[in-house]
Structure 1
Amino acid sequence: MLDDAIQAQLKAYLERLQRPIELVASLDDSANSQQMHTLLTQVAALSDKVSLRTDGDNPRRPSFGVAQPGDAPRIHFAGLPMGHEFTSLVLALLQTGGHPPKVEQAVIDQIKALPGSFKFETFISLSCHNCPDVVQALNLMAVLNPGVTSTMIDGALFQDEVNARQIMAVPTVYLNDAKFGQGRMTVEEVLAQVDTGASARAAAEISQKAPFDVLVVGGGPAGAAAAIYAARKGIRTGVLAERFGGQVMDTLGIENFISVKETEGPKLAMALEQHVKAYDVDVMNLQRAAKLIPASEAGGLIEVQLDNGATLKSRSVILATGARWREMNVPGEKDYKAKGVCFCPHCDGPLFKGKRVAVIG
């Protein structure tokens, strides 16, 4: 399964384990189970801190869980986590083994304090470049909070379950057996939905902010550029973004960004955010603007009202609301989006194996 170069690299990563971990496999007589057993045997052989059991009782077969010895697994992989998902496996091993995650301490604290039980199931395809971000976010929550479990499910392997749930786009996430969301999500976006008090806390904090000289609405490349130019002039600058990076976050290959021969969307978005935060810019992420009230009506300053009820004030506002996937605007298109109408052949294509499809564009 793993060639010598990948094994050597993985062995180096596993040296960072701070405590033992256990792989618990649930297998059958299929060829896929044999492949999974080979993979897990290779992984376990790379570190004396990794052990393997094959007596798992997960009804999805083949699958395996990652846990500390003696604990029930909270992270599960139903299918082979290869392709884009191999990184999800590596991070699950490291984080379960005590290697600290690269997220802000405030996010870690919020995950640990989350009350209740959360059973996340993420349907993916191994060719999907957005799926690993969702799997890794939910796996991290499962590592940090005993009330959270996370299962990656390869939709191409578990086709019957995909058909039964009528899943036609990936990543698709279920929470406690109810549909939770589709598309790329960060751990902060997940927390904003499951932490019921987060929105109210954010609204109260945002409403207390002093007026800005320049408020940029939108966190894509244009919004980032506007914020940097404003902040370099030494004026008070804020950025309000529904999702920093915008549509760029959903784009795998970018080859038309001048001076950069080729890059990936999430990598470019991360670089944009790092550049913006190198200046004194107040970035308010995961916030959606709902209404703009002109200064003439608001008493001297422009007001921007948010979906969560908060209000921001500024002397000037730059609207950089970005782009969306192009649509045809025909009847039924919006109703069936992600239910048969999809925008990514790489991600969603495997779910349509053996079916009649139409390609537009």
Structure 2
Amino acid sequence: MNYMNAYEDLRNVPAYYDYSLSFNRDESILEILKNIQMHEVVEMLNRYPQQSYFEFKELLGLSHPKMTVVLGSGSEDLIWRINNFILRNKKVGVILPTFYRIYQTLQEPCFINIPYDIDNEVLDICSLRKAIDEGKYEAVWITNPNPITGKGFYASELLNVIEANKDTLFIVDEASVDSVMDIDRFSMLNSGYYLKNLVVIKTFSKFYGLPGMRLGYVAISDELADCLENWGQVFPVSSFSIYMAKKILEHKKIFMDIRKKINQNRDLMTSLLNSSSTVVPYKSLTNTLVIGGRSTQYNLWQILKGKGILSFSLDEEKGMLFSNCVRITIHSGKESFDYLYNGIKELLCELEGNNRVYSVNM
């Protein structure tokens, strides 16, 4: 489902707070942007982006000296290029649910349903291993953690599967991983970037809260990197976007604090939802949380909308196990989270049919 366009008219209405898209909102990011030096911006804009690309790749390579990097105009640009220039005419498995643009830009995707437990944020690697053995795929798309359910595979277990299937190309989209508290246990970037049959996609849109910057990158083998760069745009990313990304990466402490706030806020929201008999939260690793209504007598998306909360309805999402579910995004910003928390608390009281006061302290 195209959740970029689905509620666009509603997003422009001041009465609604938008929690349907999965990028973060936080006042701290604005403080970083206030320190931008105009003379540096002018200098960046007064040259072709190629030099900026080289400097940015060097910056990323400080942590991963053997990593080959290809830049893109957001992860969506890279997804399109991978599907059209690397995976064309191949048998490609796609783990569901997932970001809709992954399967929409493939010729004939083979959908793979991996069972999940709503009370466990970690996915069963045995189910994935079995699906790959049975499917005989030439390539497999995995979003890890999952952008819909917030659940993920351990990187170490995923690494074993990838190493055991050297003739299969694995594309792992890590758009959601930066909000995971124990990120090193789930990200493939540190443990598997050297594998020739692994592509890892990263973005600045979600966790960093800058989707308009349009900057993503892939860690990829030299051979596949040449394919993407030869068939891509000459300059897919502006010098200004590179400048912004470099500024962001200078403030690691701020984003460590943002990650902690996201996880604290998600745990608070999960505790609140668990105290109700009318809804059920799906345990999540990330900044998104699925909520399921225990009854079909009401439409959860509609009643949240009535509270000014714009969520993402999952009723049409491929790979969901249950109906009457929505996904909300947990922001680290105080104002945004407080509005969401208080609105859902009020809604739960109404659904319970009483004036119950929930004993969850913020």
TM over 0.5: no
Q: Comparing both structures, which one devotes a greater share of its residues to helix?
A: 2
Asked which structure has the greater CA Rg, the reply is 1
Q: Comparing both structures, which one devotes a greater share of its residues to strand?
A: 1
